[in-house]
Copies of this chain bind each other. A is one copy, B any other.
């Protein structure tokens, strides 16, 4: 049976290398890109589609776009979203026209919040949070999905070019609402090209590759009508749960850290996290930690330690037994505290700068 990457949250096969082969992805090579960011340098970003095209746009200063969507449900964002924003920031810093759509229509129809509530949450929390994570508000273009008739028209058109069986093969299921959500996402991904044909890159978790594939299929099948350029994808791994699962999940809160999070609670979760440390201090001193099994080290690597040398030092000391598990966890708690405090300050600042944002307005 084919391995299905299910973007809807079902079990994902953990073997990222296998996924690369099975889906014919390009292996990500940080050497392609100037000043690779933390996620790129550490191979958290591990695969993509048409990466060289985007690298060439950066190198030759040719126009391209980067795009992501905000699902304005809830009042927290998780670490997977943090990675998307960091990737988006990377491309923004390297010349991409940056689009953020607020998926209020999808939120309203699939999560049962009203358009008004979705809009309010986006304006009060999600957009400021994205800015707090480093996006330049002056260089980012926003739109609300529910206002964008062009996206809706394009979604209807996309639906003409994907069969029910393809939806089933790609997503594992094909409920009407999922079909609508999927074709709308295809339309969002292609929307910037209605204005100008240019390459675009969509940074997402690997589970979202099906959306990219469908969008690329639609591009191929609407060549005579639109001549869109197939969107590129760049994929990162999941932040593993502190309890050792492949990804953090709301359904298992003890392994999950969101933004923002109560710091006391977050540090308690770190204390209880699955560790690569040995059972006793003596053993740890003698054998060193099994770092590759350590969820706290993963958190430090993926999110909390910016400097490679600092990370190397932690790795070596922990691996050699010089550093104890409790010390590693203490570092993580301190780093997280510092990050969260910084985030909260930036969030408040971002909230005050909302007037400066550019929203596409639709007649």
> A residues bordering B, Cβ < 8 Å?
105-106, 108-110, 115, 146-147, 149, 152-153, 155-157, 159-160, 162-164, 167, 174-177, 179-180, 183-184, 363
**With contact pairs A152-B152, A153-B108, A363-B363 given, residues A159 and B177 touching in the complex (Cβ less than 8 Å):** yes
Find A108's partner among B156, B162, B180 (CB 8 Å cutoff).
B156
The minimal Cβ–Cβ distance linking A27 to chain B, given in whole angstroms, is 32
Task: For A162, list chain B residues within 8 Å (CB).
Answer: 176
Say yes or no: B183 contacts A153, CB within 8 Å: no
Q: Are A174 and B164 in contact (CB under 8 A)?
A: yes
Question: CA A205 – CA B180 in complex, angstroms?
Answer: 28
Evaluate whether A159 and B146 lie within 8 angstroms (CB atoms) in the complex, with A152-B152, A363-B363 already known. no
Residues of B within 8 A of A160 (CB): 109-110, 176-177
Given A105-B156, A152-B152, A157-B108, A163 contacting B147 (CB threshold 8 A):
no
- Oligomer: number of copies: 2
Q: What's the Cα separation between A250 and B357 when bound, in Å?
A: 54
Bound-state Cα–Cα, A156 to B110, Å: 9
Q: A156-B105, A183-B176 are in contact. Are A147 and B146 (CB under 8 A)?
A: no
The complex places the Cα of A115 from the Cα of B174 at a distance, in Å, of: 28
Contacts of A174 in B (CB 8 A): 164
Q: Please give the distance in Å from A143's CB to the nearest CB on chain B.
A: 13
A176 touching B179 by the CB < 8 A rule?
yes
Q: Select which of B109, B159, B164 is within 8 A of A156 by beta carbon.
A: B109
Instruction: State whether A163 touches B175 (Cβ < 8 A).
Output: yes
Closest Cβ–Cβ distance, residue A227 to chain B (whole Å): 15
Instruction: Give chain B residues whose Cβ lies under 8 Å from the Cβ of A164.
Output: 164, 174-176
Give me 17 A-to-B residue pairs in the complex whose CB atoms sit less than 8 angstroms apart, sorted by A's number: A105-B156, A106-B156, A108-B156, A146-B149, A147-B149, A149-B152, A155-B180, A156-B180, A159-B179, A159-B180, A160-B176, A160-B177, A162-B176, A164-B174, A176-B179, A180-B180, A180-B183
